[in-house]
Structure 1
Amino acid sequence: MSKIDHFVSERQTLIFAELQSKGRVLAQDLAQTFDVSEDTIRRDLRDMAARGLCERVYGGALISSGKTVPLSHRMTDMQDRKDALGQAAAACVAQGATIFLDAGSTNLAIARHLPEGVGLTVITNTPVIAAELSGRADLELIVVGGRIDPAVGAAIDMTAIAQLEDMRPDLCILGVCGMTAADGLSADIYQDATFKRLACNASRRTMAAITSEKLGAGAAFHVAPLNPDLTLVLEDDADEAFVRDLRRHKLDIHLAGRNTRASSHPHSLKDQPA
């Protein structure tokens, strides 16, 4: 093995360790970490994907296990970016709305930014989100119970489903594992996808705040199609061509960090017919 091959092997070993720790990596971040070009990192990721060590997605790669990285790990990943998404998504929530807040580390950031004193009712199946909101006297908190799935970090079993069937939120804020323009929103775990679909169907509207590496990357199980009842909150560096493709579906699209709404179909998240 040459010296160059040795360096490549060491770098890919470190990249794989990062994947195992966080579940996903971004080519831009890795290029800065290793002081190499993004093209070099992309070659690494292509090589690793060919060996079954990862799955290539726009801007980086995901771990190839097909399993959701535990919520406890995701909570510390990309915190600044998720905080920006959380702030932008929370600003979309209408006064007096009843919302279902699904499992997800970005959704935890949304919970932290929910506006105060506007009469919200929040339903969640996620203990860490419930804990975040439990001290707020200005909103009503309803917790959907059942067995907590250790990977999802939320109740998604038949007990939780039975409780969800009696609820009709104005807005379902989904946590998703992937999204493509052709197939819509998706999740890694079958039972989680089933629960998410039911939450969407029970709600008048759906919203998802999605980090850029999930765009164009479909997960194993379908959750929801792209339709005008869906609001997306994306990062301000989201691929412009991909966003243009999404607008063809007449979605309500917000870009976190920008002062103006990037939307081809503006409407209220609450005042829509069921």
Structure 2
Amino acid sequence: MAAGPGRYSKRVRRQQDILQILAQEPTMRVKALAARLEVTTETIRRDLEELAEQGLISRTYGGAMLRAEAEPALSQRERELVKEREAIARSAFRQCAHGKTFMIGSGATTAILAKRLAFELRNVTVIAHSFAVAMALAQNPTIRIIMAPGIYHAGEGAMHGAQTIRFLQDYAADWAILGASALSPDGPSDALFEAADVYGTMLRQASHNMIVADHSKFDRMATARYAQWSEIETLVSDRRPEGPLMRALERREVQFILAEG
């Protein structure tokens, strides 16, 4: 029997309530949601499945988490949270300042960190796939920039694809420095499959690694996870995560650095 209009509107309102709850408490369990909304766990599971089909949430073991919103183009992201990203770059630089060879992923925060490297370091080598990162480094003529080939992604201003991956596999680095579209208890992820493939390769080719990401990425899941937290050494951000995300970092012994300023 088809649901009547009253039942349909009630379900829609309940699902809107679920999204509002997840915005405040990002990793809610099914039982907790059922108790909060005074419905059965079966009803909540059906709601979560519908929301997941719409791409609004991601199911987790026993619960759900909001999906990261679609990322705008890099040119727009570069105008957001600038002070926070600059603070992250300053703190991240202190961790990797003794490196001689770097692999740097694309992103607004990594581009700011590249400017810091250009200002502070001399005679280092950086392997990049992002034109924003390469242009920031080009301010320092002593830095050797190796640009990865591949298929150009206009929105990200970076090279991706099989050719990029094969190119990176021929190099090794002291540090891989990466951004992320989202950070969940399961690991960092990116909105672009192609970028996630590049980031995963950079991680495997580097002796040390670091993720630089602002607090807006916390407790979200994006399309493609590129690592588990057990593979990550350091996370630098402008706020300290809480709840399941922080517990995951502690359990996997990820060094968390709170950016100063």
Deviation at residue 128 of structure 1 after TM alignment: 1.3
Cα offset for 1:113?
A: 1.3
Aligned to 2:115: 112
Partner secondary structure for residue 173 of structure 2: coil
Q: Percent identity?
A: 23
Match of 2:46 in 1: none
**Residues 35-75 of structure 1, C-alpha deviations (whole Å, 9 max, x = no match):** xxxxxxxxxxxxxx99x79769xxx9953xxx432111111
Question: Which SS does the other structure have where 1:145 is aligned?
Answer: coil
CA shift, 1:177, in A, is 0.8
Aligned residues of 1:89 and 1:233 also touching (Cα < 8 A): yes
Q: CA deviation at 1:86?
A: 1.1
1:86 aligns with 2:81: no
RMSD of aligned alpha carbons: 2.6
The number of residue pairs the alignment matches comes to 203
Residues 113-192 of structure 1: matches in 2 within 5 Å?
113-114=116-117, 116-181=120-185, 183-192=186-195
Name 2:7's counterpart in structure 1. Answer: none
Gaps of 5+ in 2: 1-22, 25-50, 59-65
- Closer, same or farther: CA 229–188 of 1 in aligned 2, 3 Å: closer
- Tell me which amino acid in the other structure corresponds to 1:120: V
TM score, norm. by length of structure 1: 0.66
| Partner residue, 1:249 | 252
CA distance in 2, matches of 1:239, 1:185: 13
CA distance in 1, matches of 2:55, 2:232: 37
Query: Equivalents in 1 of 2:234, 2:155: separation in Å?
Result: 26
**Alignment match of 2:208 (pick from 187, 205, 210):** 205
SS at match of 2:96: coil
Partner of 2:36: none
Match of 2:105 among 102, 106, 110: 102
Describe the SS at the equivalent of 2:194: helix
Helix, strand or coil: the match of 2:199?
Answer: helix
**In structure 2, how many angstroms separate the alpha carbons of the residues matched to 1:227 and 1:137?**
37
Shift of 1:94: 3.6
Deviation (angstroms), 1:221:
1.0
**Would you tell me which structure has more helix in proportion to its own residues?**
2
Deviation at 1:152, TM superposition (A): 2.5
User: Cα distance 1:146–1:228, how it changes in 2: closer, same or farther (>3 A)?
Assistant: closer
**What displacement does 1:139 show?**
2.2
* 2:18 aligned partner: none
Larger Rg: 2
User: TM-score, normalising length from structure 2?
Assistant: 0.69
